[in-house]
Structure 1
Amino acid sequence: MGISRDSMHKRRATGGKKKAWRKKRKYELGRQPANTKLSSNKTVRRIRVRGGNVKWRALRLDTGNYSWGSEAATRKTRILDVVYNASNNELVRTQTLVKSAIVQVDAAPFKQWYLQHYGVEVGRKKKSAAASAKKEGEDGEAATEEVKKSNHVLRKLEKRKQNRVLDPHIEEQFGGGRLLACISSRPGQCGRADGYILEGKELEFYMKKLQKKKGKGAA
């Protein structure tokens, strides 16, 4: 029989049955939802749709391309957890990837890019002055052995550092190795879970929501 979206094969609002005077049509069919799950066993299905077009139905995913808007940098990274969904808490419990879901992604690729672009390592824990001085001395020696930058590159990094602005909330997240992000693609339609890193007012909004949720859980 198959899932059908037409009203002819449904009951009336009163609950009475309707006489179907026409067979079901291909253009009225409905397909079951993808409910893309967070899993390392990546599974994407090819679906032939109306007009001979193709859709990609992601059933299981754990990676995506995430864009850091203020820095105009995009990196492929792992999705670690689904933490919030405005429409349904059940989608958080079942770790379902849908558009506009708030997820935690691995910060390592962005950390690496930041170091390469600005020559600054973000998210390092602050230690006591003496310990940090000693560590810096050791690290400095190791770094000079590892990478020797030309004067041209050093000048370029210095120039970039002059205009460098990093959101304190994002810096804090770098310390934990996880960044809050929002999925902006539709995994059940295009087979990808791409999105953007949350920043500014939007990040503050979702941090408050998560804090409130955590408070309720503790209570």
Structure 2
Amino acid sequence: MVRQLDYMQMKAIFARFEEAEAHPKGELDHTNAYTLLVAVALSAQATDVGVNKATKDLFPIADTPAKMLALGEEGLIEHIKTIGLFRQKAKNVLKMSRILVEKYDGLVPSSRAALVELPGVGRKTANVVLNMWFGHPAQAVDTHIFRVGNRTGICPGRDVEAVERAIEDNVPVEYQRHAHHWLILHGRYICVARKPKCGACPIREWCQFEEKTQ
């Protein structure tokens, strides 16, 4: 495992990310906290593009837990059947919606503990919602962040929770709010899995990856 970069290196890296894109955004389409929660839950083992195609016609008619329950399982499946594991995801979305109606008056709670108790919502999904909607400096570690963190030394860790802790412990506080978005976008478009685009990398000078491409 590569070593953790030091404070000044981390500060320089995230200043470079901020310079390139000061306000990075997630790529899942949504209109409110509920549709964001549903979109992120649907995105497990699916692409953001695929989820956005499925929810383009779904969210205009089911943008609250009550409306989703009224749509029903078959109605929901009709919209999301192009997404992997769509049957189980449909069941989870409806169970989640019922809990939100019965326990939270139809609102999405703003605590991680409450969110992860919802069907189909894990720590990563909860962190995305907390960060993107509620503005918490929560770090949602996906495969892109795990790869970038361990390849570069920005946030090395043996599992996603270790990488999450490395971000929280080592990214300067002023960059915590957008840290996971910068890392996801960097992994999605520059530090890709098979042939990283090291020649176009804005943080190449600090990266510890030994097999840099030209």
Pick the structure with more strand per residue: 1
Q: Same fold (TM over 0.5)?
A: no
TM-score with structure 1 length normalisation?
Answer: 0.27
Give the structure with the higher percent helix.
2
Q: Please give the TM-score of this superposition, normalised by the length of structure 2.
A: 0.27
